[in-house]
Chain A
Amino acid sequence: MVDLTPQEWTAVALSLRIAVVSTLVALPFGIAIAYVLARKEFWGKTLLDALVHLPLVLPPVVTGYLLLITFGRRAPAGAFLADTFGIVFSFRWSGAALACGIMAFPLMVRAIRLSIEAVDRRLEEAGTTLGANPAWTFATITLPLMLPGVIAGMMLAFARALGEFGATITFVSNIPGETQTISAAIYTLTQVPGGDAAALQLVIVAVIISFAALVASEFLARRAAARLHGR
């Protein structure tokens, strides 16, 4: 049913790598920002909240363009990272991962924030009286109790990253083997005569990956919830 060329397999593998890396790298930041938004009151909180949500409401091409003029090879942040740490984003798969991570970030933060708000703070108080300092309280009580939300947030981020198109193509272009993801490959195939059959195959692969991710996250979330409720 699915008979892909090596170049198309590369696009599939690249999409998975970009989606996994962007989700995992975004996760600690997502948890930290969600925690701050759920629990802390500070000046500029509304601004931070708006900033986190910006990629959700901006046209993806605009986000991609903003990344280009910030992290491009000759842009200030891009040049600094390249010269100091040797990290280059422009026209690299890592740039695609950055674009995907930023596009997925608001969805991840929203899911995790809801789960933090649902944690019973009286349990954290109980942990405190038992000798747990704030870091241990978070690691042993808050984090396990918010796990279903963390899984949901990762799933949303992964799916968003897998489907990202506009910001990625604007920021790092559509280079086979480096930045050409499934979405970009499908788009390219639809632009050439006779590419429809190959495009359909990639569409099927995309559906299978998304479906598998959904089933896996549903399974994990159920197991995590069952653990919490003592079954």
Chain B
Amino acid sequence: MLSVSVTKKLGDFAIDAAFETAGVTALFGPSGSGKTSIINMIAGLLRPDAGRIVLDGETLFDATTRIDVKPWLRRIGTVFQEGRLFPHLSVRHNLDYGRWMSGLAADAKAFAHAAELLDIGHLLDRRPGKLSGGERQRIAVGRALLMQPRLLLLDEPLASLDAARKAEILPYLERLRDDSKLPMIYVSHDAGEVARIATRVVRIEDGRVTASGGAEVLATGS
């Protein structure tokens, strides 16, 4: 379980958000509402001005006691909107990167399972530059999955894809959710996506939490 209570000023924009997540939780709200900044604070890429972030009982950030666990020690897998695959590495090495950097032993079974789950086994020797947007995002999900994270953050993973590609990827994400039991935070501005993926919804508007609960949150508000 993740508990977040953070404030952050970014120029004229202010984030002041407190929420808890469990299972697959969506951060849902319009573009520019601060969802990505909140995700970056959870991942450790952006430092909150004040507040606390606690994951499964471990404090990752606490402004009052000056705890700030470095992002590379947090073991939180992140899938970015643009994939961010390493262009100089093959798909196989992209997938292995997190495991390698986290000091985990090679696990052929886990690797084969992820490759099968995301249907990327035929791409392993290719380079990211030659792949379609949908293939890239599936590999980005696999890369985050194979570091054996405690929590998976998906920051608008479908936003850079067209409608057909979105429809192609969503079933993979549903399979991942049902297969792994891995806690996830799914960021999106698309109510349809959120309804398919998430079991809990936290609504973010203008840097604040305006509602949280089940799927009914999608229908309320603006």
Assembly CA distance A130 to B70 (angstroms): 12
Known: A136-B101, A230-B130. A145 touches B88 (CB 8 A): yes
Is B33 part of the contact surface with A, judged by Cβ < 8 Å?
Answer: no
Interface residues on B, range: 20 to 34
Is B129 part of the contact surface with A, judged by Cβ < 8 Å?
Answer: yes
Contact B87 A132 (CB under 8 A): no
Assembly CA distance A128 to B86 (angstroms): 12
Contact B45 A127 (CB under 8 A): no
Assembly CA distance A98 to B45 (angstroms): 42
Contact A130 B144 (CB under 8 A): yes
In the complex, residue of chain A having the shortest beta-carbon distance to the beta carbon of B148:
A131
- In the bound complex, residues from chain A placing their C-beta under 8 Å from that of B147 are 130-131
In the complex, residue of chain A having the shortest beta-carbon distance to the beta carbon of B146:
A130
Give per-residue flags for A35-63: 1 if the beta carbon is below 8 A from chain B beta carbons, else 0: 00000000000000000000000000000
Give per-residue flags for B120-149: 1 if the beta carbon is below 8 A from chain A beta carbons, else 0: 000000111110000000000001100100
In the complex, residue of chain B having the shortest beta-carbon distance to the beta carbon of A126:
B84
Assembly CA distance A123 to B128 (angstroms): 13
Contact A132 B72 (CB under 8 A): yes
Which listed residue, A127, A136, A229, A231, touches B86 by the CB 8 Å rule? A127
Which listed residue, B45, B126, B143, touches A130 by the CB 8 Å rule? B143
- In the bound complex, residues from chain B placing their C-beta under 8 Å from that of A132 are 72, 97, 101
Interface residues in A, total, Cβ within 8 A: 22
Assembly CA distance A231 to B127 (angstroms): 8
Give per-residue flags for B53-81: 1 if the beta carbon is below 8 A from chain A beta carbons, else 0: 00000000000000000111111111010
Contact A229 B71 (CB under 8 A): no
Task: State which residues 75-102 of B face A: CB under 8 Å.
Answer: 75-78, 80, 82, 84, 86-88, 97-98, 101-102
Is B154 part of the contact surface with A, judged by Cβ < 8 Å?
Answer: no
Contact A231 B144 (CB under 8 A): no
Q: Tell me the interface secondary structure of chain A in the complex.
A: helix
Is A133 part of the contact surface with B, judged by Cβ < 8 Å?
Answer: yes
Smallest Cβ distance from A75 to chain B, in angstroms? Answer: 45
- In the bound complex, residues from chain A placing their C-beta under 8 Å from that of B77 are 129-130
Assembly CA distance A229 to B128 (angstroms): 8
Is A227 part of the contact surface with B, judged by Cβ < 8 Å?
Answer: yes
- In the bound complex, residues from chain A placing their C-beta under 8 Å from that of B98 are 130-131
Contact A144 B78 (CB under 8 A): no
Is A220 part of the contact surface with B, judged by Cβ < 8 Å?
Answer: no
Is B38 part of the contact surface with A, judged by Cβ < 8 Å?
Answer: no
Assembly CA distance A199 to B103 (angstroms): 60
Smallest Cβ distance from B88 to chain A, in angstroms? Answer: 5
Is B15 part of the contact surface with A, judged by Cβ < 8 Å?
Answer: no
Known: A122-B80, A133-B70. A127 touches B87 (CB 8 A): no
Task: State which residues 107-157 of A face B: CB under 8 Å.
Answer: 122-123, 125-133, 136-137, 140-141, 144-145
Known: A128-B72, A133-B72, A136-B101. A144 touches B45 (CB 8 A): no
Is B204 part of the contact surface with A, judged by Cβ < 8 Å?
Answer: no
Assembly CA distance A230 to B45 (angstroms): 28
Known: A123-B84, A130-B143. A229 touches B129 (CB 8 A): yes
In the A-B complex, the 4 residue pairs with the closest CB atoms = A230-B129, A230-B127, A130-B98, A131-B102
Can you sample 25 A-B contacts with CB below 8 Å?
Answer: A122-B82, A123-B87, A125-B45, A126-B78, A126-B80, A126-B84, A128-B44, A128-B45, A128-B72, A129-B44, A129-B45, A129-B78, A129-B144, A130-B101, A130-B144, A131-B75, A131-B102, A132-B101, A133-B72, A140-B101, A141-B86, A227-B88, A228-B87, A229-B87, A231-B129
Given A130-B98, A137-B72, A230-B126, 10 more contacts at CB 8 Å?
A: A122-B84, A123-B87, A127-B86, A129-B74, A130-B77, A130-B143, A130-B147, A229-B87, A230-B87, A231-B129
Residues of A within 8 A of B (CB): 122-123, 125-133, 136-137, 140-141, 144-145, 227-231
